[in-house]
Structure 1
């Protein structure tokens, strides 16, 4: 059932493509030619990174990761349909609901003894990592992402998530001295080129003043 972290982080970024497709259907957000071209180049880079990572996860593992990517895409759509929501409040409440849903699963899979032992033996670095993931990563970065999703077209914002596996792999090389193959470097360069195509072309006006098909009019 397990999937390597590197491969999972790559497949999870399929949410960018799924979100753009959902926004086209639900909000009639038509990507510009530059956005389509940039997203395509970045997606190719993502596929190249995928091919360059070692490990062969099973079908069920990849199916679960793809399901998570689809769920993230629908979360983006829900966020986009509520443009007046507070970004931090949105992240806090969605995280609380996710935690409540995950807790029973964790208790069944890992068991209470394993959880308590892990917490009792966790180092300061471990607790620091938890705090880092909770606040800078989940709360503040999530709030920024939420705000961007509500203000700009999906095809303009979501491709930047494709940088996640690339930045993670490059950070591992810098911090831990892990060696990167030419395939991964090529894929990272392709993602950067795709994002450059999207960002360096004339931008469309923010979408927050445009009515959407999910808004309720009085």
Structure 2
């Protein structure tokens, strides 16, 4: 069991949890007036271009790694997530389903890196999978229901998040690096593909940019400044100071904040089956995080 977080670091961790939990409501607000791929492109433009002259590139990381991470996270994870939320994935449910990236990372690490999951991790995966199936089976067709297309795209976003997690592990093999320069420079690579995809698939880019106002500016600022730079920077700092077993369980609070904020700010009310599935996903995550600790105590 690792050392406990100090009070200042507890405060930093809770700030990140709140920022990331509210993130899904902010996405919904942005998607009300902007198309998914354009909003995604604007997020990464704001997170990279204004800072390139002031933030040095991480010299020990190759361009190929920065590009791979940027494309997996930007075009893959957030492109699919924003599109899924536009197609009917509720903000609260998105915050839950996206956390399945932890289990997909587990499976990819076992298949590609030869890591061997422990028995309790398999149990956690099984419980979370049942919860995910319950959430997926509760989709509907009305504007307030979760659609199957939105659900599947969010699962795809979780898979691409897991891919970017493996790329982060690979980056660590090149030596220590500063998190903010890494995210700033990797955020440069999804910009052009996202703009091209938006122009091709969405088509009304000029009209959307002409109507761009303070609301849209606040949304992009939140997603780029708070969620991407502040959130990622603080979280990585905590992981550098404390064992992952101490910091990682705090991410369980993100979907809790996501569900509550979506309920209070958007009026989203999950069905009984979705609540049951959410409980299954969160229980599986708890087993995955704390199973080893429980076994040692036993």
Distance across 1 between alignment mates of 2:183 and 2:168: 10
Distance change in 2, residues 1:176/1:25 (3 Å)? closer
Matched residue SS, 1:82: helix
Q: Once superposed, which parts of structure 1, at least 4 consecutive aligned residues long, lie more than 6 Å away?
A: 61-64
Gaps of 5+ in 2: 1-82, 142-146, 294-298
Distance across 2 between alignment mates of 1:182 and 1:48: 10
Give the C-alpha shift of residue 80 in structure 1: 0.6
Give the C-alpha shift of residue 98 in structure 1: 1.1
Distance change in 2, residues 1:198/1:19 (3 Å)? closer
Gaps of 5+ in 1: 204-218
Contact 2:136 2:148 in 1 (8 A): no
Distance across 1 between alignment mates of 2:151 and 2:287: 30
Distance change in 2, residues 1:40/1:90 (3 Å)? farther
Distance change in 2, residues 1:17/1:62 (3 Å)? same
Distance change in 2, residues 1:31/1:189 (3 Å)? same
Give the C-alpha shift of residue 12 in structure 1: 5.4
Partner of 2:289: 199
Distance change in 2, residues 1:137/1:126 (3 Å)? same
Deviations 1:22-79 (A, max 9, x none): 2113333222222222232223222222222324546xx8776665444333221111
Distance across 1 between alignment mates of 2:276 and 2:152: 26
Matched residue SS, 1:39: helix
Partner of 1:208: none
How many residue pairs are counted as aligned between the two chains? 195
Partner of 2:296: none
Give the C-alpha shift of residue 107 in structure 1: 2.3
Distance change in 2, residues 1:81/1:170 (3 Å)? same
Partner of 2:210: 120
With the length of structure 1 as denominator, give the TM-score of the two structures. Answer: 0.68
Query: Is 1:140–2:230 an aligned residue pair?
Result: yes
Partner of 1:109: 201
Partner of 2:186: 94
Partner of 1:178: 268
Distance change in 2, residues 1:24/1:162 (3 Å)? farther
With the length of structure 2 as denominator, give the TM-score of the two structures. Answer: 0.52
Distance across 2 between alignment mates of 1:92 and 1:48: 37
Matched residue SS, 1:5: coil
Matched residue SS, 2:217: helix
Distance change in 2, residues 1:110/1:123 (3 Å)? same
Distance across 2 between alignment mates of 1:28 and 1:145: 27
Distance across 1 between alignment mates of 2:269 and 2:181: 40
Distance change in 2, residues 1:185/1:118 (3 Å)? same
| From 126, 132, 141, the counterpart of 1:46 | 132
Partner of 1:81: 170
Root mean square deviation, CA, Å: 3.7
Contact 2:90 2:268 in 1 (8 A): no
Matched residue SS, 2:284: helix
Distance change in 2, residues 1:187/1:4 (3 Å)? same
